[in-house]
Amino acid sequence: MPQFDPNVIEPQLVWLVISFGLFYFLMARLALPRISGVLQERVERVADDLDQAEVLKRESDEVREAREATLAEARAAAARKVAEATARARADAEASLAALDAKLAQETATATARIAEEQAAARREIDRVAAEGCREIVKKLVGEAVAASVTHKAVEDAVASLRRGEA
């Protein structure tokens, strides 16, 4: 192998040292600073992105909390409105029911009074017809006319005794 020939190894070693030194110089002065700058820029960009992400996270947390507070207020307001509407409806229903009860009580009292009046009128009419019937019966049986006041008094006494339970 020619590279291991002892006559040519010294110049090869010299060129190796010169090539390595030149390569090292180029790498140390040109390539490594650029690579270091790119890495530093990347580190700074990542740090900025992390800071920005933290700021955005805080902002989103604030927005979420504000939204939750708004929702809670809206729910509370809706619950208050429902409670107020329910109370109003209940009060209106109770007022309507009270008015209806009063109206029905008045109509019942009026009807009861009218029924009592009609019953009294019917009783008077029945008493009058009974008195006339008695007078006609007595006239046919006895042959003489009896005074209307007498038959009327007799019918009143008979009805009063029936009402008391006397037969």
Contact 135, 151 (CB under 8 A): yes
Q: What's the rounded Cα separation, in Å, for the pair 149 and 77? A: 82
pLDDT score, position 57: 96
Structure tokens at 106: 């008045």
Mean pLDDT of 126-148: 84
Residue scoring higher pLDDT (155 or 118)? 118
Mean pLDDT of 75-84: 96
Listed in sequence order, the residues at least 6 apart from 3 whose beta carbon sits closer than 8 Å to its beta carbon are: 9, 12
Q: What confidence tens digit (pLDDT) does each residue in 43-67 have?
A: 999 999 999 999 999 999 999 999 9
pLDDT score, position 144: 83
pLDDT score, position 153: 85
DSSP state of 143: S
Residue found by looking up tokens 């790498």 in the block: 27
DSSP state of 24: H
Burial of 151 (0-12, 13-18, 19+ CB in 10 A): buried
Contact 148, 161 (CB under 8 A): no
Residues in the chain: 167
Instruction: Tally helices (H) and strands (E) across the chain.
Output: 3, 0
Residue found by looking up tokens 């008045």 in the block: 106
Q: What's the rounded Cα separation, in Å, for the pair 45 and 40? A: 9
Contact 122, 116 (CB under 8 A): no
Share of the chain above pLDDT 90, in %: 56
Contact 134, 151 (CB under 8 A): yes
Chain centroid to CA 96: how far? 23
Mean pLDDT of 74-81: 96
pLDDT score, position 74: 97
pLDDT score, position 90: 95
